[in-house]
Amino acid sequence: MAEMKNEMEAQAAEQAEESAPQKKNVYISLHKNFVREGIKFTDKATGEEKTFNQVRLPSGTTIDGKDVGGYEFSPLYVNESRFRGENWRDIPLLEGREVWLQKSVLDSEGNPVIGEDGKRQRDTVKVMPAQIKEALVEARKAWAAEHAKDDRSLADRADNAKEASDTMAKEGAERPLAHEAR
């Protein structure tokens, strides 16, 4: 009798887990230069020292026709990227929860505009995580297309550089320093 009761409870627990909505994450990956981690602040209500993370979207990121480059948001978690290496960060965002992208409103001289309440005015754009991910993919493609001026393969470019270096060495010319070559 006790076994049947335990079995029925186990089945009920399984059904409850299956019927509960699964929280799915959308992962976005950004270079660590766009992510600030562990920024300390003091909670005004409790006086406790806490931390938060801040992410700034790269320029050229466009969502629904609006350039959101420079807009920021504060994700709860930031992890070192598992696939892209130590210089990249993976940011998990809940699939169904909108993200508020914010940017300070600036006047014509570039100074922040202060509202009547004494706080900075902010422009806020509410988007879904999938929109951010898609916009970042498009921005990376556009950047790569813009910077892919040389159609030669990496091996061809390396061979040409080696030939030029060998020619210079044969002629007795001094090799330029890296900052002079540009």
Residue 12: per-residue pLDDT = 54
Query: Which of the two residues, 8 and 81, has the higher pLDDT score?
Result: 81
Residue 135, domain member (yes or no): yes
Containing domain of residue 142, as a range?
21-172
Burial of 179 (0-12, 13-18, 19+ CB in 10 A): exposed
User: Does residue 150 carry a pLDDT above 90?
Assistant: no
Residue 81, domain member (yes or no): yes
Residue 8, domain member (yes or no): no
CA atoms within 13 A on the CB side of 42: 2
Residue 30, domain member (yes or no): yes
Residue 166, domain member (yes or no): yes
User: Does residue 170 carry a pLDDT above 80?
Assistant: no
User: Does residue 11 carry a pLDDT above 70?
Assistant: no
Residue 10, domain member (yes or no): no
The alpha carbon dihedral of 112, 113, 119, 121 has a sign of: negative
Q: Report how far residue 90's alpha carbon sits from residue 82's, in angstroms, rounded to the nearest whole number.
A: 8
β-strand partners of 114: 120
Global confidence as pTM:
0.66
Residue 138, domain member (yes or no): yes
Residue 51, domain member (yes or no): yes
User: Does residue 178 carry a pLDDT above 60?
Assistant: no
Residue 45 binned pLDDT confidence (cut-offs 50, 70, 90): very high
User: Does residue 57 carry a pLDDT above 90?
Assistant: yes
Residue 162: per-residue pLDDT = 87
Number of folded domains that form the chain: 1
Kind and range of the H or E run holding 31:
strand 25-31
Residue 172 binned pLDDT confidence (cut-offs 50, 70, 90): low
Residue 156: per-residue pLDDT = 82
Nearest residue to 137 via CA among 28, 31, 24, 25: 28
User: Does residue 5 carry a pLDDT above 70?
Assistant: no
Convert the pLDDT of each residue in 61-75 to its tens digit: 999 999 999 999 999
Cα–Cα–Cα angle for 152, 158, 162, rounded to 5 degrees: 135
